[in-house]
Amino acid sequence: MNGKDTPAPSYSSPRHVVIIGANGALGSDLVKVFRDGWQVTGLTPEDLDVRDLQSVRRPLVAARADLVINTAAYNLVREAEANSDEAYAVNATGAGHVAAVAREVGAACLHYSSDYVFDGETTRPYTEADPPRPVNVYGASKLAGERAVLEASPRNLVLRTTGLYGETPTVTKGRNFVQIVWQMARGRQEIAISEREVCSPTWTLELARQTRVVIEADASGLFHAVSEGACTWREFAQAVLDLSGERVIVRGQPQALDPGLARPRFTVLENARLRALGLNIMKPWRAALEEFLRSEGGARLRTLSGS
């Protein structure tokens, strides 16, 4: 099930995975998913700084893992326009550091990229075969990072995803969209959310499960991995409230909150390679959201959000 002419990773038993960003939104769910059957080493920003090659090398050499999963990202889209050096240092140079050291120690590297590598000027879902064309610094830095990872070794993988939400808030943003919606709706009958952008919101636990499926199929190369289907952020917010039993109406807000920033309007991704290889386990976005809201993790997040 590998990409054409791509050698498969060879895992010994017991398999050992290092997860960079293990305290983050996606990283914490990856730890949950891989700890049954794998030896897991979780690293946080206190353990290494992806911007510093030596900082990356020390723990990865010590770990002697079969696989390195890198979830570190600078994902503040608006701030990236004014802090392009920092965005590239983490998303591009940092991704390259991790991939280079993984190759040195004989490990495969899996990295996450973004729908923002596309310009959004289409009306059909993007596949892995579509040429990327980022329209902002964040997207350009993520594209540079995925190229660095794939060029480092034919064993490596890049999963493009979008609209992540889960029990653990992101380290950089401090909260996710589901929390934002609950907090906006508190004590109100109506809220306003952008209906300008269309994407495929994706539960981090679902993505972590999909990640393990791809790894254990000995796949390599570039994949899209998102919940099936698409919606506007307004539609997603309304679903969050409806499925939570909240009687709040979500109005469409035609303009983005920061209209001066170039944002792709339509970044729906299609899991074309996953489907072609028989590996796609991603649910429709609304079904995944309902499962999340009914889960213990969703209940804890709602309590923490004060709703």
User: Which residues are catalytically annotated?
Assistant: 138
Residue linked to tokens 């039993």: 245
Q: How many residues does the chain have?
A: 307
In whole angstroms, give the CA distance from residue 239 to residue 142: 29
In whole angstroms, give the CA distance from residue 65 to residue 260: 44
Give the long-range contacts of residues 37-44, CB within 8 A, separation 24 or more: 38/14, 39/14, 39/15, 40/16, 41/16, 41/17, 41/65, 42/18, 43/18, 43/19
Do residues 70 and 111 make contact, with C-beta atoms less than 8 angstroms apart?
Answer: yes
Query: Quick one: which H or E segment has residue 31?
Result: helix 25-34
Those residues with Cβ within 8 angstroms of residue 49's Cβ, 6 or more apart along the chain or in another chain? 55, 56
In whole angstroms, give the CA distance from residue 250 to residue 236: 10
What is the bridge-based pairing of β-strands 249-253 and 190-194?
A: parallel
In whole angstroms, give the CA distance from residue 157 to residue 149: 8
Do residues 30 and 71 make contact, with C-beta atoms less than 8 angstroms apart?
Answer: yes
**Quick one: tokens of 178?**
């589901």
Q: Which of 145, 172, 176, 178 is nearest to 75 (CA)?
A: 172
